[in-house]
Structure 1
Amino acid sequence: MFIAKDGTTISQSGPLISCSDGTSYNLYGSMLSGPGGVVDTNVSNISEVIGIVLGLHGGKRF
């Protein structure tokens, strides 16, 4: 589980990333889809997906 700078809690279960703001993202092969459609088409692994989603929420809170 991660906390983004905007206060959103982000958790991962398999290829699904869920956010406490109600949004979710799915990794299908190398394509990341989200609430607005395709977010990225060249994702190499789930760690990269988490980084992308954290970036969409302002980055990781340390």
Structure 2
Amino acid sequence: MTVAVVLLATALVIVVALLAAAGAGKLARMDGATYPAALTHAAVTFAAVITLAATVASVFTTLLT
């Protein structure tokens, strides 16, 4: 049961990160950025969401143990 919850939570975080990255890339492109610049914005946003999720998971792990 625990493994399934961890896998589902991981999948959810990745989906949210991909959606945020796609949104950031689209907004950058609509603002007139070139494709490489928009891709850079998307990659930075994806990394930020993954980092934030890892930090929150680390804090929860520390608090719950």
For Structure 1 versus Structure 2, the TM-score category normalised by the shorter chain is 0.3 to 0.5
Higher Cα Rg, which structure: 2
Q: Select the structure that is richer in helix.
A: 2
TM-score, normalisation: structure 2: 0.31
TM-score, normalisation: structure 1: 0.32
